[in-house]
Amino acid sequence: MTSPQNPLLQEWQTPFGLAPFDAVADTDFAPALDVALAAHRAEIDAIADNQETPTFANTVEALEAAGHLLDQVLGVFFTVAGADSNPAREALQRDFSPILSAHFSEISSNKALFERINVVWEGRDSLDLSDEQARVLMLTHRGFVRAGAALSGAQEERLKEIKGRLAVLGTQFTQNLLADERSWFMKLEEADLEGLPDFAIDAAVAAGEEKDAGGPVVTLSRSLITPFLQFSPRRDLRKRAFEAWEARGANGGETDNRAIAAETLALRDERAKLLGYETFADYKLETEMAKTPQAVRDLLMAVWKPARAQAEADAQILQRMMQDDGVNGDLAPWDWRYYAEKRRAAEHDLDEAALKPYFQLDRMIEAAFACANRLFGLEFKPLDVPLYHSDCRAWDVTRNGEHVAVFIGDYFARGSKRSGAWCSAMRAQAKFPQRQTPVVINVCNFAKGDPALLSYDDARTLFHEFGHALHQMLSDVTYESVSGTSVARDFVELPSQLYEHWLEVPEVLGEFATHARTGAPMPKEMLDKVLGAATFDMGFQTVEYVASALVDLAFHEDGVPEDPMAKQRKVLDDLGMPDAITMRHATPHFAHVFSGDGYSSGYYSYMWSEVMDADAFQAFEDAGGAFDSERARALEENILSTGGSRDAAELYTAFRGRLPGVEALLKGRGLIAA
């Protein structure tokens, strides 16, 4: 099933079996996918048509072993399609989405295959399975049932249609958003640069060069528009930039996402009802730690009330500051970050422009690596290998001299990359059917510079995504289906959010927060101010996040809205959303929820995980401190190495001795007294 002409179909004779990116052309993807799909289909047919009595080995393990070639092709394609897209790759995405949906629907509706799985499931008590095997069997059986394997006739056909259409809609939503983000920019004249720190001007100049705009520009990259909103004294320009940022996906024409969102919600509801669930939220949350929509709502509302109270108190202060500047009218969303930054500088004497030179990208990468070394004994050696873009870097990750993983970092914003930050595994860890070490990628959207400088939030993002990477790299399970981040959605953010805490450890900042020009460490006074301001403006940050999570939940819990935008307005009105704060992700650009099913009815999971990460870091502090070896070992043994091989609540309890409450989160966010 391999072709000497197509590098995607070969056994890669490269260092660590990395993809030969320099040999792959866009024209290779479609023919490679055809071959890989045919190979996978043949493997599935062989399992389904096997005349031997179904066993765990010849059915469940056989499924685990199937699809290697398909994983290889798609691992490369989805990496470049998300991080370095172009018109050809976007067209391929549109073509591949319904094809892949149909392929996996065909597998999940294969009656002979499901019957074999069901036989193994029904006889599970007599099989003498290991705990991990029992877990894999349960997840496999449940996955087929939830995918519709028990349906037949018209219901089965309709579910296939729904899945295919949802795949198309998710791809279109993502590409529309990328198109809006890529096409808009605002040129800045010399006078428009007033008040902007050097790092923001440098980023605007670099963006203008990329856009061939003949001068500096503001784009809709978060790493550029956020500092512009923080520092520009030009209220008219802030308003123009913010409204463009808020309008992504809602500009009319071919890239408008509002109709896509409405159709997506209707199809999800229909899908859930076909499978016997009252709502899509009930269907989605069944497999999560939260289990029920009510448990999610209880958590979010417990946080919403103190967060809104804090945000409203902060708004009054910012309003007075604006009036003192001689600006009439009410505080608006494009004013908040500007006046919050001025307030932060005044109250904490913390100047972002003076702070940013201490957060060099390279030094923060070193810091993330150094913490991983102290906690888990990992070492990182640069690799000189072909990658998919010149911005990318790679490292060989070892422990005690033994290869553990390859880590790839792709850190800079560019027009070919979708917004946000993410971690993915081009190859996941597994021991069956043979040992394979992971290849893990962190993708971010930081502004370029010489040197590249990060905001404190950017540095947190880097640590966050590296926490996901550690979950992949330290995985130590047998089966790929439960490897690494293959866990409940509201558990997957625990390792990433927990790792952010090490950025705040004073000795870490003391060593790695060094000035870009002088190399001097951050002065203790500034370090104290950074740590003291950690909860600054947390009312705003919490409100914009929780509002998004509650809208997501309402979309999937309260029936199908005819007009999602009207539903969004009603939810926010009922909550008493402060006028000067918007959702972190409004519906037309809520990619977490509408680019696929990943975070649909699940955006709350960041906060669910934060309840655990606040409590988990407290465990380190209660022991020997941030680098306590016993706690680090317990974290790796019970969470980072175990993937989804055990229930998430069981894993957390094994690490901590109990499940957490919301108090540590509220204290950590400064929303209640410590």
Active site residues: 465
Q: Are strands 217-219 and 379-383 parallel, antiparallel or unpaired?
A: unpaired
User: How many Cα atoms sit within 13 Å of 475 on the Cβ side?
Assistant: 34
Distance of alpha carbon 616 from alpha carbon 500, whole angstroms? 12
Distance of alpha carbon 665 from alpha carbon 608, whole angstroms? 10
Beta-bridged to residue 380, according to DSSP, are 397
Q: Please provide the distance, in angstroms rounded to a whole number, between the alpha carbons at the two ends of the chain.
A: 62
**Helix, strand, or coil here: 320?**
helix
Q: What is the DSSP string of 366-413?
A: HHHHHHHHHHH--EEEEE----SSTT-EEEEEEETTEEEEEEEEEEE-
Taking the CA atoms of residue 306, residue 332, residue 601 and residue 221 in that order, the dihedral angle to the nearest 10 degrees is -120
Q: Are strands 439-446 and 402-412 parallel, antiparallel or unpaired?
A: parallel
Q: How many CB atoms lie within 10 A of CB 363?
A: 21
Token representation of residue 51: 């005349």
Distance of alpha carbon 665 from alpha carbon 612, whole angstroms? 8
Specify whether the CB–CB gap between 626 and 577 falls below 8 A.
Answer: no
Distance of alpha carbon 230 from alpha carbon 338, whole angstroms? 4
Q: Which residues contact 284 (CB under 8 A, 6 or more apart)?
A: 272, 556, 597, 600, 601, 602
Specify whether the CB–CB gap between 484 and 472 falls below 8 A.
Answer: yes
* Size of the chain in residues: 674
Token representation of residue 154: 């018209």
C-alpha dist (Å) from residue 550 to 560, 567, 614: 15, 11, 21
- Residue with token string 């109250």: 347
Secondary structure of the chain: what % helix, strand, coil (to 5)? 60, 5, 30
Beta-bridged to residue 187, according to DSSP, are 217
Q: What is the DSSP string of 78-142?
A: HHHHHHS--HHHHHHHHHHHHHHHHHHHHHHT-HHHHHHHHHHHHTGGGS---HHHHHHHHHHHH
Angle between helices 153-183 and 87-108 in degrees, nearest 10 = 160
**Helix, strand, or coil here: 413?**
coil
Beta-bridged to residue 424, according to DSSP, are 441
- Residue with token string 């203008």: 208
Q: Nearest CA to 426 among 74, 86, 171, 85?
A: 74
